[in-house]
Amino acid sequence: MPVDKTPNPPDIAAALRSVRWPLAAIIGLIFALTRLGETALVGLRPTTPLISALDPLFWGALAAVAVWGVLSWAAGQEWRYRTAERRMLDELQLAHRRLQVLYELNQRIASSATLDEVLDYAITLPGELFGARAAAVMLYDEQGSALLARCTGLTEEPLAAARSAVGLRLHQAPPRKPEALIPRGAMPADLRACLIVPLAEGDDAPVGWIECYLSDTRGLARDASGALAPELTSLLITVGGEIAEAVQGSRRRAREIASLVALEQAITAERTRIARDLHDGVAQSLAFLRMRVALWEDWLEQEPERLREEFDALKANLRRQIEELRRAIFALRPIELSQLGFAGALRRFVREFADQQDWDLELALSDLPPDLPYALELAAFRFVQEALNNAAKHANARHVVVALRVVDGGLQIVVRDDGVGFDPGAQGELPGARLGLRQMRERAAALDGRLTILSKPGEGAEVRIWLPLRYARESTGATRAPVTPL
């Protein structure tokens, strides 16, 4: 703040107090002499010598007392006026300083990109607002446990002693409004009070609180009951709301960034899988055909009849590769969750995939709840897509069932086919076998879910995935937006 260089006005009250006794004495003496003069000029003789001596003294003393009283009253009035003026000036300066803090708070919060930047500034506010000797910022984590996020002025052991002295416990919720706690026992570092500022937006649940440890409580404005004054309470509620909003905004941004990173990782993994499938399937088949074409040139004259069989095998091989390419191209199409909703997009995808494979489809989506978390919808879509891809590549099925429903507090995904089937135990022992199923199992475990495979050779296969709704609701922070094609 700029230093006020305006000269102080003269202290009139002090000047009146300093001259009241001399002035009263002079005026009293003048009155006494005047009374003596009047008596001498008029020629009045008092009845007794005592009255003759006391009469001038009486009037002189009366005048002196009157002058002294008037000057004292004027000095008192001036002192009260100056006191009220100083008090008003102090309050204006305090209000100006607090407005500066609020303005700086808004500016710092607006420019803070991370939670660390918000907390680094929040821990400085107790010192700026109240001259606090120490401060601590406590935040609730996702499990509802209060954790020490920042601390200044006290180390861990003195802070624990100070908190114990004012009756604070980590498991208890902070007060709904700012409150000054007076210690019940000795506090370290000559501290005298702890001011609690809850971090909450309006009527929302608090995200934490700030503890301000004071060695001088004269800066705390209180009413007659000892509670914090309304204007101070309003200021602290505003500060707590601003910091709470910044903390929640920083956490939302962190969750969005984590969701974007997870999405990019999923995109990379899916593209890697598609590239591997194309390399192991279409690319190798085409390379094999290229070698066969070189051999056919010799057969044109030597074994023309054998070429007919080769061409029949070529057509069958090309048909399989075309189907493989169509599956890869279909997998690259964008997911239309934002345009059609989860159920609509999934129904469209499954039906088009089944039409492409010439499957008899049975689809059951009627039991889906309308409020599935977006992260769970995206994961379920990927599981169905992967299971259908595996069935198309390996099952040689004619009838496929896709069903989604809520079971035991989680989303259950079932994809069943009537294809050739396999032995899940034997497949798991072969390195590289059923890579898609292994990736699905790992993805389900990452979402705190589980994957079950039911199959026997010649009896088809059934893939069951269960994903908890609770985990998805707590972990998701992504917004509903169009998904990049994989």
Q: Is the pTM of this model over 0.75?
A: no
Enumerate residues 6+ apart whose C-beta is below 8 A from 54: none
The second-level CATH assignment, the architecture, of 337-486 is 2-Layer Sandwich (3.30)
Q: What does CATH list as the number for 114-251? A: 3.30.450.40
What pLDDT does 278 receive? 67
More confident residue, 485 or 42: 42
Spatial separation of the C-alpha atoms in residues 325 and 158, rounded to whole Å:
69
What pLDDT does 433 receive? 46
What pLDDT does 476 receive? 47
What pLDDT does 8 receive? 55
Which pLDDT tens digit goes with each residue over 137-160?
999 887 788 888 999 998 888 888
Spatial separation of the C-alpha atoms in residues 421 and 403, rounded to whole Å:
19
Which pLDDT tens digit goes with each residue over 200-221?
988 888 899 999 999 887 766 6
Domain-by-domain residue ranges, the chain? 12-109, 114-251, 337-486
Q: Is the pLDDT of residue 181 over 70?
A: yes
Which residues are 404's β-sheet partners?
Answer: 413
Q: What is the rounded average pLDDT for all residues in the chain? A: 77
Distance of CA 326 to the CA centre of its chain: 45
CA angle 279, 282, 288 (to 5 degrees): 100
